């Protein structure tokens, strides 16, 4: 997955990888496809096998970003307080958006008050805010393990992931009956998937991919993880193709290794396909559109889900619900492709007002959480 046509942003010595932008675009569209389906036509399941890949890809891409945007810059001599300040800023952004999504869902009646406040702490199932909550938690973990992370990269993350898998048989003895919180944080019991601890597998793989891209390491770690994932998938296929497919759809909610294996292999397959298509100049306009949408992932995911959470739950017939869902997704994509100025004009200046207001709130919250030291 070597970079092609990297763009260097002036003054920041930052290389941008076009394939990662394309993958971000595909991932956010898969996630939003699932969410508009839930909102407008919840009994339509044709795309579920594909949309089930969105969360694994989000976390793997997050890991690659950690290496490219933070670890590689630190090794190149970037100021550590500035890096930590940026990480805290991203934490505030992610957790703030998780809170905002739950708040809007409570106001619209899509979530009850108790489920709403519990969902911002990983104690109850929310509505479209879980990936922001996972990101926020991962930023906290990365800050906590920064000394070993900055020195050894993906290795300590994968050790944590392995320890989590080895601990799975013991959680029942230690904790007793599983709860939603135990599934969200530890991957123990049915409830939410991927749980935070087993999701370190995705994170470690993503950092290993990023290390290959930045040249810190060769592909050995990423390839080794991919080989193990393929072995897990082959063991699942021993149940038969249809049964393996059914198990994959159910495996997410019980944090089964098969779900993580499929996510890793699917990500690798998409990355290799995009790399080959880029080098062969196949589907260049489509890849360019996906990359541009990928560059606006935060806008697409945050704004799209805020609107969905503000709407009452619909239960439309498929013949109506699917066109409405697709129209919403297409409209959101077009807004992402407009660019900041045109999008602000089309939305009557609300995006500009929000960005300025949010910038002030973000700065205030970050300063409270992180006092920069000289």
Greater confidence, 252 or 64?
A: 64
Give me the pLDDT at residue 11, please. 36
- Tokens representing 203? 């994170």
The answer to whether residues 105 and 111 touch, using CB atoms and an 8 Å cutoff, is yes
Which of 91-100, 143-152, 184-193, 246-255 has the least mean pLDDT? 246-255
3-state secondary structure of 285: helix
Give me the pLDDT at residue 2, please. 43
Percent of the chain with pLDDT over 90: 66
Helix (H) or strand (E) holding 15: strand 14-16
The answer to whether residues 4 and 278 touch, using CB atoms and an 8 Å cutoff, is yes
Give me the pLDDT at residue 16, please. 63
Query: Residue holding tokens 């670890």?
Result: 71
Give the length of the chain.
374
The answer to whether residues 75 and 216 touch, using CB atoms and an 8 Å cutoff, is yes
The answer to whether residues 125 and 179 touch, using CB atoms and an 8 Å cutoff, is no
| DSSP 8-state secondary structure symbol assigned to residue 195 | -
Burial class (CB in 10 A: 0-12, 13-18, 19+), 357: exposed
Q: What is the pTM of this model?
A: 0.90
**CA pair distance 102, 264, nearest whole angstrom:** 29
| DSSP 8-state secondary structure symbol assigned to residue 10 | T
Domain boundaries, the chain: 7-338, 339-374
Burial class (CB in 10 A: 0-12, 13-18, 19+), 305: buried
pLDDT higher than threshold 50 for residue 374: no
Give me the pLDDT at residue 14, please. 45
3-state secondary structure of 16: strand
**CA pair distance 101, 111, nearest whole angstrom:** 10
Give me the pLDDT at residue 45, please. 81
Task: Answer whether the bond into residue 194 is a cis peptide, omega within 30°.
Answer: yes
**CA pair distance 1, 318, nearest whole angstrom:** 39
pLDDT higher than threshold 80 for residue 339: no
Closest CA to 142 of 156, 132, 131, 130: 156
CB atoms within 10 A of CB 218: 10
H-helix segments, the chain: 18-40, 48-51, 54-65, 72-75, 80-108, 113-119, 130-144, 146-152, 154-175, 180-186, 200-214, 220-237, 241-251, 257-279, 284-294, 297-310, 318-338, 340-346, 350-369
Helix (H) or strand (E) holding 217: none
Give me the pLDDT at residue 364, please. 67
Give me the pLDDT at residue 10, please. 35
Q: Using one digit for the tens of pLDDT, what is the confidence trace for 9-62?
A: 333 444 568 899 999 999 999 999 999 999 998 888 878 889 999 999 999 999
Percent of the chain with pLDDT over 70: 86
pLDDT higher than threshold 50 for residue 5: no
Give me the pLDDT at residue 272, please. 95
């Amino acid at each position: 997955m070597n970079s092609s046509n990297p763009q260097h942003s002036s003054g920041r010595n930052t290389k941008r990888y076009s394939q990662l932008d394309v993958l971000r675009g595909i991932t956010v569209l898969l996630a939003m496809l699932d969410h508009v389906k839930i909102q407008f036509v919840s009994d339509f399941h044709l795309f579920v096998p594909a949309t089930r890949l969105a969360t694994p890809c989000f976390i793997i891409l997050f890991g690659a970003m950690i290496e490219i945007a933070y670890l590689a810059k630190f090794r190149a001599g970037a100021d550590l307080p500035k890096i930590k300040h940026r990480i805290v800023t991203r934490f505030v952004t992610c957790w703030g958006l998780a809170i905002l999504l739950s708040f809007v869902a409570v106001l619209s009646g899509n979530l009850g008050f108790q489920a709403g406040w519990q969902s911002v702490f990983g104690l109850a199932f929310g509505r479209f805010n879980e990936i922001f909550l996972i990101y926020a938690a991962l930023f906290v973990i990365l800050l906590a393990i920064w000394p070993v992370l900055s020195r050894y990269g993906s290795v300590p993350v994968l050790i944590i992931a392995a320890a989590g898998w080895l601990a799975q048989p013991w959680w029942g003895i230690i904790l007793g009956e599983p709860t939603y919180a135990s599934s969200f944080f530890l991957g123990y019991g049915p409830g939410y998937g991927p749980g935070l601890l087993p999701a370190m597998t995705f994170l470690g793989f993503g950092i290993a991919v990023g290390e290959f891209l930045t040249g810190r390491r060769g592909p050995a770690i990423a390839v080794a993880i991919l080989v193990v994932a393929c072995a897990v998938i082959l063991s699942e296929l021993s149940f038969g193709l249809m049964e393996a497919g059914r198990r994959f759809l159910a495996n997410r909610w019980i944090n089964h290794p098969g779900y993580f294996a499929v996510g890793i292999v699917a990500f690798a397959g998409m990355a290799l396909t995009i790399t080959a298509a880029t080098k062969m100049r196949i589907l260049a306009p489509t890849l360019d559109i996906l990359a541009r949408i990928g560059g606006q992932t935060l806008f697409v995911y945050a704004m799209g889900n805020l609107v969905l959470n503000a709407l009452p739950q619909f239960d439309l017939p498929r013949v109506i619900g699917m066109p409405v869902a697709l129209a919403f997704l297409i409209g959101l994509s077009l807004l992402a492709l407009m660019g900041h100025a045109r999008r602000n004009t089309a939305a009557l200046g609300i995006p500009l007002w929000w960005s300025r207001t949010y910038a002030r709130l973000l700065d205030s919250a970050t300063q409270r959480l992180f006092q920069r030291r000289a």
